Structure 1
Amino acid sequence: MMSDINVSIASPDVDLNVTDLQRTLEAHRPIKIGIISVLGVMITLGNIAVVMVIASAVSGWSRNSRYFLLSLTGADSAFGLLIMPLNLCVSFMKEYNKGPDPFCHVVAFFNATIYSTCMYTLATISLERYIAVFYPLKYSTVLTRRRALLLISFAWIFPPLLLVPISFPAGIIEVYFSRASLVCNPMYSSNVTYSLTLTCFIFFPCSAIMTFCNLRLWIAAKRQRLKLRRHSWGGGYRPKVALRVLVPVMTVYYTCWTPCMVIMLYNAISGSGVPEWIEFIAVWLPTSNGFLNCIFYFWINRSFRRKFHLVLQRLCLGLCPGSDSDSGCFNSVESSVIPGWNGNNSLHERFSSVSSTFALLMLMPHQTNMREPEPA
């Protein structure tokens, strides 16, 4: 009898807490939708600019490098063009019930597939860079065009095969729409074995490959920088560039992806959730990696920036058809965006790619049989 009284007294409090939580979530939803929308626009515009440039040849970038970078751009673009619209659509249209929803299962499948493809693509880029730097003479035989395309195909085909059970409403794992993160999420605690399998086949191997390759490249760049400093040579620019690129790339990768994986494991093992904004930030952080990749893999690269400026020139000339190369907007773009540049610098740019692949490749004469310059 006493227990019945306690339950009856406690029930109104529980209902009140649930109601307050629902009101809080609804109040925060416009803010979250605004953040997601702004992030989606930034990712889309950044990757459109990237595609405009690397669709044609960029000095200092090999054909294989362009293939891998185009693959990365495609995966990053999917964040803004596919993942965000689908989840916002569910947020606007879905009734918040706990029953199986076929559409939400499909959205969760696309979410997980694009996230996984992006991680695999980042790992293949690191692997390609590692081969180019440490095996430059064997690069063309070790990583042929066919093998490069096979690696890219694997990054796009294997994740859907691994994640296809998520797309079935009566499958091996449940899916729910999270009002905290505005995302269709698998309920990892509903199948702990499958959830742990996903992390073992996706996050951990990709992270291990990226860490190993970039750590080796960072050590090589640091040794070369010390060597140049010890001999008082003036060519220490490229090792500094490589160090500036490698460290942010790995820092951003782990910052964006680790919280999401930690929450996934926590939910799978404990069956509990996390506070609202922690879940929102952790779930959407990996999509911000799609914009930051534009900065670290492209915009820091001088060859890319100059090619982008040339694209802007052509667009400007298209808007000013009556102008010529000596006047009008052509002059304004050339003088304001790329001062001091002329076509004769293209050969120099071929050896100054900020991509650590080529920056480090030029710094390893003992592997390319190049003789070291004499100290001044």
Structure 2
Amino acid sequence: MHQNTFYFDASKNEICLENCGGMNGAFDIIKCTVVGIIALLIIIGNIFCLLVLWRTKEIHLISRLFMAALTATDLTFGFLVVLPVAVSSAYNIWPVIHDTMCHFHEAITSVLGGALTMSLLGISIDRLIAVCKPLQYPTIMTQRRALILIITLWALPFIYRIISKWSIGLYQLQFRSDSDMCWVCTKQTGHTVYTAGVGLFMVIPCFCTFCIYARLFVIARRHARRIAVLPNNVPQNMDGEVFNMHTKSAVTFLLITATFGICWMPFTGVWLYREITGEATSEYLVVAAQLTTFSSSWLDCLVYYYRSKVFKRTARKMICKMCCCLRSSRRNTTRLPTVRTINVREAHELDCSTTSDWK
């Protein structure tokens, strides 16, 4: 069994030999700080979103399942992709000097990127059924079917990664200092498999997702015209109310999909350019594209918060409760020594007065 070859690029080796993992100028300090802040925002924000979704019972169960799946994928992306990059950027060296860690990070980046796009595709399919069949939706999209759809969409990028790894066989990885990530050496392996992976799990799912939302927009416009024709004294039926509720939810997920597409487009373009041509790109361009991509995993939390009144109300309640708990704990810790001192004095005075009375 041959082992995969791992190596650092020349510039990275020179930095490590001279300064053994120190910072390299103001640009690296700024980059390290920004990546660290983004990692914290992703981890804290998505954990908080999962807690809010768990407490928010007003949101439909199936919608919460799809939102939780996307949030869990973003959280995993923050832990396994962004956090190692933050550590690598801070110490100017890969967290573990071994090819296994580098291969894992490169593989998990591509798998989670595909899982994010497939999760968005699953959400769009769910919204299409909800808008087109609002009354039949509970019987069509059951909890069991939703879980099967989520697991299947998650498994597809992982299966493709295993197949591509088996088809490529032995390949090299290069750790590049501009992105603090591991990249495949395509001069040895070729770029066909990786270009196909980007097409299957980035371009095609995003294209299908936007086509579905375009279809939903046409249906919503048609429904709005029908409502405009009705007299003002005619109340809206149950079908129309459910339709409006699902349409608003579809707009929220459309914003999330658009945010994902805008954030991932620069990094995907840089990645494809490097994989196909094998040439280096500007360090500032790579860092800007990388930071934009990482930011998509915490921007989803803001979209949830500002688009859903129920989500916002539950989040505010949880924040207020946490603040009240912190205030009460601080008051207890500050008052405790004073209360003890007063009790001792009062007990002493009470003892003295009692003794004098008995005399």
Structure 1 CA distance, aligned partners of 2:142 and 2:36?
40
- Find the counterpart in structure 1 of residue 346 from structure 2: none
Partner of residue 153, structure 1: 151
Give a deviation string over 1:54-96, Cα, whole Å, max 9, x none.
113431x221111111111111112322212222344436379
Does residue 117 of structure 1 match 2:115?
yes
The answer (yes or no) to whether the contact 1:106–1:166 under 8 Å persists in 2 is no
Structure 1 contact 104–184 (Cα < 8 Å) conserved: yes
Match of 1:127 in 2: 125
Determine helix, strand or coil for the equivalent of 2:135: helix
The C-alpha deviation readout for 1:307-365, integer Å capped at 9, x for no partner, is 1222234434544669xxxxxxxxxxxxxxxxxxxxxxxxxxxxxxxxxxxxxxxxxxx
Match of 1:76 in 2: 74
2:327 and 2:177 mapped to 1: Cα distance? 49
**AA of the residue aligned to 1:198:** G
In the alignment, the residues of structure 1 paired with residue 231 and residue 183 of structure 2 have an alpha-carbon distance, to the nearest angstrom, of: 56
Higher Cα radius of gyration: 2
Residue among 287, 290, 301 paired with 2:294: 287
Question: CA offsets per residue over residues 116-161 of structure 1, 9 Å max, x none?
Answer: 2111111111111111111223323332222211121123322223
Distance in structure 2 (CA, Å) of the matches to 1:290 and 1:308:
18
* 1:64 has 2:71 as partner: no
Change (3 A) 1:223 1:274: farther
Q: Which structure 2 residues correspond to residues 194-209 of structure 1 after superposition, within 5 A? A: 194-209=193-208
1:152-176: CA deviation from partner (whole Å, max 9, x where unpaired): 11233222232247889x9454322
Partners of 1:133 and 1:272 lie apart in 2 by 46
Q: Would the aligned equivalents of 1:218 and 1:246 in 2 still touch at CA under 8 Å?
A: no
- Which whole-Å CA distance do the structure 2 matches of 1:242 and 1:149 have between them? 19
- What is residue 40 of structure 2 aligned with on the other side? 41
Identity, % of aligned positions: 22
* Contact 1:87 1:182 (8 Å CA) reproduced: yes
Say if 1:243 and 1:163 are closer, same or farther in 2 by CA, change over 3 A: closer
Q: Check 1:105–1:288 CA distance in 2 against 1; reply closer, same or farther (3 A cut).
A: same
Q: Partner of 1:139 in structure 2?
A: 137
Equivalent residue number for residue 343 of structure 1: none
TM-score by length of 1: 0.68
* Partners of 1:53 and 1:304 within 8 A in 2: yes
User: For residues 94 and 304 of structure 2, what CA distance do their matches in structure 1 show?
Assistant: 41
- The aligned amino acid for 1:254 is G
- Alignment partner of 1:202: what SS? helix
2:305 and 2:172 mapped to 1: Cα distance? 39
Contact residue 103 and residue 173 of structure 2 kept, 8 A: yes
What count of residue pairs does the alignment treat as equivalent? 301
Q: Is the contact made by 1:87 and 1:107 (CA closer than 8 Å) also made in structure 2?
A: no
**Contact 2:56–2:311 (CA under 8 A) maintained in structure 1:** no
Alignment gaps of 5+ in structure 1: 1-14, 323-376
CA contact (8 A) 1:174 1:187 kept: yes
Query: Do the aligned residues in 2 keep the contact of 1:124 with 1:152 (CA within 8 Å)?
Result: yes
1:167 to 1:192, Cα distance in 2 relative to 1, 3 A = closer
Contact 1:192 1:268 in 2 (8 A): yes
- TM-score by length of structure 2 reads 0.71
Equivalent in the alignment of 1:344: none
Q: State the distance in 2 between where 1:75 and 1:243 align.
A: 20
Distance 1:275 1:319, change over 3 A: closer
Coordinate RMSD, CA, aligned: 3.8
Distance 1:68 1:263, change over 3 A: same
SS at match of 2:184: strand
Contact conserved, 1:124 with 1:151, CA < 8 A, in 2?
yes
Match of 1:300 among 301, 307, 317: 307
Structure-2 separation of matches of 1:156 and 1:85: 21
Mapped partners of 1:185, 1:178: distance in 2: 7
